[in-house]
Amino acid sequence: MEHLFDQDWEIMSAGGATGEAFFARYHEQKLFLKRNSSPFIAVLSAEGIVPRLKWTKRLENGDVITAQHWLNGRELKATEMISVRVAKLLNKIHSSKPLTSMLQRLGKEPYEAALMLTEVETILDTDLILLKPVRDAITFLQEHIDEIETEDYAVCHGDVNHNNWLLSDQDELFLIDWDGAMLADPAVDIGMLLYWYIPEADWEEWMGQYGQSLTDEFRLRMKWYVVCQALIMLQWHKDKSRLHEVTKWMNFLQRCFQT
């Protein structure tokens, strides 16, 4: 990475699980660098969803490096997820034809409910399946699978955790970390956001700010996808022996059936 710059630039790891992200700094110039980022990042930048893309360079070994402006700012707090700006930006993402076209050109197929259910049934190990809340959740998914299909697939982020929302010092809001982008039912993103952050009494108002009414059919779709994602996260954290996270997701799974 260092050979892209002269010796006066300071290159630092940006952390993360992949080790592919870096910060570069020279006096007042600051860049966020990523190795082999998807071409999708260029469209996200053009749409104003992520900080502006400054340049892209292909290295001799075939790696592609992207550089974005490094913005001073902060992550959103959990309590700020109820904001109108969050709802409107998520609607902009789900409604964007350029984003959808780019994912299709990259070969992304819709992540249908049946595929997600198959993934859940395949990855869950015996220890989790023996737990009654998990068995009840699987039964719920299987019983309602025929009610979940939709033709309105859109670009979904897949992890709308408040840590992925960046508010810059210039009061610009971005949704970052798009490695899990998919073509899916918008209920995938909306459901997790509402269940995690928004009191149920405020769901209708939030959906109005998003630009859609909260029907019983959409409620079911949200719950179905949220239960799927909770089971996937349960197994993921169990595989990594993160028992505290397993407990958290188990509690979340059980809360899903209280709404």
Query: Catalytic residues, which ones?
Result: 159
| Two tokens, residue 154 | 């859109």
Nearest to 116, CA basis, from 185, 162, 215, 176: 185
Q: Torsion-angle region of residue 54: left (phi > 0), alpha (psi -120 to 50) or beta?
A: alpha
Backbone angles phi, psi at 106, to 5 degrees: -80, 0
Nearest to 173, CA basis, from 78, 30, 50: 50
Q: Is 197 exposed, middle or buried (0-12, 13-18, 19+ CB in 10 A)?
A: buried
